[in-house]
Amino acid sequence: MRIAVDVDGVLAARVPALLELAADRHGTEIGVEEVTDWTVTVPDTGRSLREFFAETDEDPEHLLALSTVPGAVEGMKRLAADHTVYIATYRKAVAREPTERWLRAHDIPFDGYVREVGDGKREVPAELLVDDSSRTAATFADHRGRALLFRRPWNAGSTPENVTPVDGWKDVLDRVSAIDDSG
């Protein structure tokens, strides 16, 4: 099976790093659980987290310093052993080189990198998507195949009917195994 995997929130723990960056630069205290959508405004800046997110795509040092999501490295190794695995991201083109460097530095295997993913990542040549955006997962599932949605505060309460929620990498591997077993 061909599996597409998102980077931020699935492989890389980017939101905690963004919140730490906002705290360092602006003295803000925003907890991960408070990020219920990307329009959350960083106090005293008038800027949304979405804007900080986009800005840090152009900061290789920030991207290279990101931690991995627990279980991501082992999970990707297990997926790659039996499947073709694509990295599917909305990160800007300028972020590709540091993202690929980060993946290699963490020994995360992948067979391809797709940035021109289209709305809902529907251009990704895969049958399964692992993502943390409920909208992206639902669109992919409608047009390409199945989608697993990492539960996060920003998608709480919005799991579409055509998407399967997962609580971490063990859950991802269990779901993929069940799909494999069903043929």
What are the pLDDT digits (tens) for 76-121?
A: 999 999 999 999 998 999 999 999 999 999 999 999 998 866 677 8
Q: By the 8 A CB rule, do 89 and 57 touch? A: no
Question: Distance between CA 105 and CA 67 in Å, rounded?
Answer: 11
pLDDT tier, 183 (very low <50, low <70, confident <90, very high otherwise): low
Question: Distance between CA 62 and CA 39 in Å, rounded?
Answer: 21
| Count of Cβ atoms closer than 10 Å to residue 129 Cβ | 30
Q: What three-state secondary structure class fits 109?
A: coil
The top-level CATH class assigned to 2-12+68-182 is: alpha beta
For the chain, the structural domain boundaries read 2-12+68-182, 14-64
What are the pLDDT digits (tens) for 129-177?
A: 999 999 999 999 999 889 999 999 988 887 788 899 999 999 999 999 9
